[in-house]
A = this chain, B = another copy of it.
């Protein structure tokens, strides 16, 4: 397990982005899927910051760059990225964020700062196992889970 390259910690973001993009290309090819211009661009946009962007935010960016300007353009690209494991949907925000560990088969939890809106992808294997156990006890078979937390990130906490 690598040391968590959490969004809150200062890090070489260019490197972080490049890595994710490279792995993304490899993964889509391996999956027999196509990394088209819109899809790649949407992923790049999501990778710019460790924040979650709404579909309409992404759409606005795309529109200024000559792509379509109707909602399905954004929603389809985002859905593709989520399906491929290259992005995650943050339920609480109705928004999307790039996956920081594409291809690593991880169980993510999202830590959302209510002040600066940074979104960090934390490791939730333990939480997920507890949840699985509880569900199993009830005879419930989990297919997808959502674990999200809202609060204060270390930086914003310091400010207060």
Q: Which residues of A contact B (CB under 8 A)?
A: 4, 6, 8, 91-92, 109, 111, 113-114, 120, 122-124, 126-131, 133-135, 137-154, 157
| Majority DSSP secondary structure for residues of A touching B | mixed
Instruction: Report yes or no: B131 in contact with A142, Cβ–Cβ below 8 A.
Output: no
Contact of B127 with A139 in the complex, beta carbons under 8 Å: no
Task: Please list the 6 inter-chain residue pairs (A to B) with the smallest Cβ-Cβ separation, ordered nearest first.
Answer: A139-B154, A126-B130, A127-B130, A91-B91, A143-B151, A145-B149
Copies in the complex: 2
Q: Is the CB of A124 within 8 A of B114?
A: no
**Nearest chain B CB to A111 CB, angstrom units:** 5
Q: A35 to nearest B CB, angstroms? A: 27
